[in-house]
Structure formats: C-alpha cells, structure tokens
C-alpha cells in the first residue's frame, strides 16, 4: 500500500475543502446580471395606472423574429385603458421565437415594452412560452410608472404574491420562476427571499451567506 499517495490524495481533498467555491447555491442565490442584460419582457404602465402601450404595432414590425403579435383597439370614454386613441387589445410574445435583441424596446414610442433581467422561464410545455398581455402587463399596484430596476426588488415578480405565483414549477399551474433574485436576506444564519411580508424562509441555519 502506498501510504504517501493516500496522504497526497487527502491533502488535495482537504485543500479544495478550504478553497472558495466556484459554484453558488442556485436557485436560492443568484448572481447579479450585467446592467444591459436582456431577459423576459414586461409591459409597463404610467404612474396613474394607464397602460403605456397604444397598440401602434411598431414593436411587431421591428421584431426580426416575428415573435410579437399586437392587435389594437379604440379606447372609449367609458373605458380608457391608455392615454392614446388606441390600446393593445391583444398583445403576445412568443418567447421561444424571441432572440432577446431589444429591438421592440427600441421601437416603442411610449417605453411600454421593456426587457427585464428575468431569465427563468423553463417549462414543460411549449404553450407556456406564449406570454400574453395578462402575463406581460405590470400589475396596477406594482410600482407603476417606474422603470423595472427602480422598483423595490427590481421587477414585478419581486413585489409579493406575484413572485410566489410565478415561482412555481408545477406543470399544472404554469410557467417557471420569474423572480430575478438579487439581494438575498440573511439573518442569524437563515436565508430569506424578499417578499411583501418581509421575507420567506428559504434555508435553515446551515445556509451560509451568499451560499458560498
């Protein structure tokens, strides 16, 4: 038996145990994106809650991947959804076609369609990647009027129940997580995901800060 080789192997093992890990504890910990990262879309509102989209279809025309479908309709005095004459009656993006180039964002005259840093869209069904208006439009109560990165936690998915709903991987319920991550709250060795209620416990005392 080569005792020297055993000690050499153990030294290598213990040496790596003391090194800083290259991996992170995903999905509980997520790395920050580059500032110009292009992720999942959202449709924004004005500060008064009206939809920014005026159904002009410029984003649909600009899209090189034919991923966007817009059908505009006329606002009425009794039901005004946007400040313009028209609003998007139907708005869909096929995220499987999308190449996340940002041309739609560039083309939009009202800054309605924007690309957020959200990237977690995995699902078992192709149909789950068709994001219609109900999934794209920022909830009326979700920090309207502010750019995505200026809202608490960054995106609509960070603003409470929406995050909980969208963080499911249950194939019956729908699409995968859209929570961006960012700051993970840690307290007394426990890790929390920021929520409107203050934080949901993700990991117990064994969790280390940053997961590393």
**Binding positions for ligand SF4, rule: CB under 6 A:** 53-59, 62-65, 67-68, 70, 88, 93, 98-104, 107-108, 110, 112-113
Residue 182: CB minimum distance to ligand SF4, A: 22
Residue 52: CB minimum distance to ligand SF4, A: 7
φ/ψ region of 139 (left if φ > 0, alpha if ψ in -120 to 50, else beta) reads beta
Residue placing its CB nearer to ligand SF4 in the complex, 65 or 169: 65
Residue carrying the six token digits 């700051």: 183
Residue 129: CB minimum distance to ligand SF4, A: 12
Contact between 91 and 132 under an 8 Å Cβ cutoff? The reply is yes
Contact between 21 and 212 under an 8 Å Cβ cutoff? The reply is yes
Kind and range of the H or E run holding 163: helix 161-166
Residue 97: CB minimum distance to ligand SF4, A: 7
Residue placing its CB nearer to ligand SF4 in the complex, 72 or 157: 72
Residue placing its CB nearer to ligand SF4 in the complex, 102 or 199: 102
Tokens of 25: 């504890």
In the sheet with 200-203, reading across from the earlier edge strand, the strands are 185-187, 190-193, 200-203
Residue carrying the six token digits 């920050």: 32
Residue placing its CB nearer to ligand SF4 in the complex, 81 or 203: 81
């Amino acid at each position: 038996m080569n005792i020297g080789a055993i000690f050499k192997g153990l030294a290598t093992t213990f040496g790596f145990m003391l090194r800083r890990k290259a991996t992170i504890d995903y999905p509980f910990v997520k790395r920050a994106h580059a500032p110009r990262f292009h992720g999942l879309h959202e449709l924004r509102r004005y500060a008064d809650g009206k939809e920014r989209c005026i159904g002009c279809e410029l984003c649909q025309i600009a899209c090189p991947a034919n991923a966007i479908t817009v059908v505009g309709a006329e606002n009425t005095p009794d039901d005004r959804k946007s400040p313009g004459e028209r609003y998007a009656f139907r708005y869909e993006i096929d995220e499987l076609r999308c190449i996340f180039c940002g041309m739609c964002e560039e083309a939009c005259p009202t800054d309605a369609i924007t690309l957020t840093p959200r990237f977690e869209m995995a699902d078992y069904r192709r149909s789950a990647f068709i994001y219609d208006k109900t999934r794209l439009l920022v909830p009326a109560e979700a920090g309207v009027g502010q750019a995505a990165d200026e809202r608490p936690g960054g995106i609509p998915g960070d603003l409470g129940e929406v995050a909980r709903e969208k963080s499911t991987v249950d194939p019956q319920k729908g699409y995968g997580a859209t929570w961006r991550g960012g700051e993970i709250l840690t307290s007394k060795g426990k890790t929390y995901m920021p929520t409107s209620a203050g934080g949901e416990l993700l990991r117990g005392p064994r969790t280390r800060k940053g997961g590393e």
